[in-house]
Structure 1
Amino acid sequence: MSNRYTKYERLTRCLAADILKNKKSFSWRRIILRCIKQPKHRYIFWWRIASYLYSTDSHFCKSRARKINFSLIKKYNIEIMLGTQIGEGIRLPHFTGIVINPYCNIGKNVRIRQNTTIGIKDDVEGVLLTIGDNVDIGANCCIIGNDITIGNNVVIGAMSFINKSIPDDVVCYTEKTNKIIVRTE
């Protein structure tokens, strides 16, 4: 993530991209009205607020962020840990079973579908899993490994297990070798 923006500017840019889809300029009124009218935006709104609070140096703000995130986990069944870096324009079409480790760095305009796990193998400081921009992750995917990089413009098929780096501009899926045999008599 770029450090040229302040934390607050980054928050407002992300909210404008996530909720307003950059069709209108940012205002808190627009964001809140959109969240009231369209409940699907509430999760990402509150997660962005919690992430912003968690990034401050205040013990009180970090404590509030943890409480907000715990409430989000209980209500939406999505566990995106605080400390995860997510770029603008994240899309979560179905709110169920998504787990993302705090050592992940996710780019812009990424779509993550239901029952997806993204994390590292060993909980070691300095290990990072990086997902590029414009990545589409199918349902029931598992992306696990240390120092994995998934490039830009990648499509990961449903039910894929990814444990190696993937270059830019590819379609990736796990080939299923189990054959279903149907007998008719």
Structure 2
Amino acid sequence: MKISYLFGLLFAFSDKGAALREFWRIEVTRKTHFSWHQLWTHSRNRRRNFLLWWRLASEMYAHGNKQQRKMAKRINDALKDRFTTDIGLGARIGAGLHIPHHTGVVISDKARIGKNLVIRQNTTIGVVSSMGPDEYITLGDNVDIGANSCIIGAITIGDNVTLGAMSFVNRDIPANCTYITRKTSDAIIKPAH
């Protein structure tokens, strides 16, 4: 992992690292100005530590050279093992990503997501086999996804949408609404005698 630190530092200090430092300011330090000291201090928090490393891997994968892209994949593989969260390096997620509980979060590299996404445990944003190479899953700004939800296919979810827990979404959802999948049960509950 020492090599990862070296590649990460070189990338973060480079001109290509400006966007990375802004992601870190918003998601890790949560301060008005970026500070390396604040980054170090706040990176000890488990949730913020994930964001620090995933943003580094994502930016190195998107903007780095061949060696940096290779290192980004290694970092992402380590994050999958440690946090049980699988976010594809090709995914584009705006600033303000918040994952309260990491377990079981899966986001396809075909995702194009706006800023301030809140995504909870055991949630998938994934593809279907019928999607073409130029089709994406698009989520707007300020989307809040409840636990145990599944969003699949080349769909668009607008800005300011809240998805209830255990929602299944395979169609477009307009902006400024709440979406809840109605659950029906055929189970019969009989009172105890």
TM-score of the pair, normalised by structure 2: 0.87
| 1:170 paired residue among 173, 177, 181 | 177
Aligned counterpart for 1:108 among listed residues 115, 128, 132? 115
Structure-2 residue corresponding to 1:24: 32
TM superposition shift of 1:182: 2.6
CA distance in 2, matches of 1:16, 1:84: 20
Q: 2:94 aligns with which of 77, 87, 100?
A: 87
* Greater displacement, 114-123 / 98-107: 114-123
RMSD: 1.4
Q: Deviations over 1:139-175 (max 9, x none)?
A: 00000012x1100000000101000010000000110
Aligned to 1:97, which of 97, 104, 110?
A: 104
Cross-structure match for 1:143: 151
Query: Which residues of structure 1 form unaligned runs of 5+?
Result: 1-5
TM-score by length of 1: 0.90
Q: Percent identity?
A: 41
Whole-Å Cα distance in 1 between the matches of residues 64 and 32 of structure 2?
A: 32
Q: Which runs of 5+ in 2 are unaligned?
A: 1-14
Rounded to whole Å, the distance in 2 between the matches of 1:91 and 1:182 is 38
The structure that is helix-richer by fraction is: 2
Alignment of 1:40-119 (within 5 A): 40-119=47-126
1:132 is the counterpart of 2:140 = yes
86-95 or 25-34: bigger deviation: 25-34
| Alignment counterpart, residue 163 of structure 2, candidates 156, 161, 164 | 156
**Secondary structure of the structure 2 residue equivalent to 1:19:** helix
Cα distance in structure 1, aligned partners of 2:23 and 2:188: 48
C-alpha separation between the residues in 2 aligned to 1:57 and 1:33?
26
SS in 1 for 2:125: strand
How far apart, CA to CA, are the structure 2 residues paired with 1:136 and 1:46? 22
Q: Does structure 2 retain, via aligned residues, the 8 Å contact 1:120–1:127?
A: no
Which range is displaced more, 50-59 or 113-122? 50-59
The 4+ residue runs of structure 1 with deviation greater than 3 A are none
Give the Cα–Cα distance (whole angstroms) in 2 for the partners of residues 105 and 181 of structure 1. Answer: 42
Distance 1:144 1:154, change over 3 A: same
Q: What SS does structure 2 have at the residue aligned with 1:52?
A: helix
Question: Given residue 163 of structure 1, which amino acid in structure 2 is its aligned partner?
Answer: N
SS in 2 for 1:55: helix
Matching residue's letter, 2:169: I
For 1:61 and 1:8, how far apart are their aligned partners in 2?
A: 12
| Amino acid paired to 2:134 | G
1:24: how far off?
3.2
Would you say how many aligned residue pairs link Structure 1 and Structure 2? Answer: 177
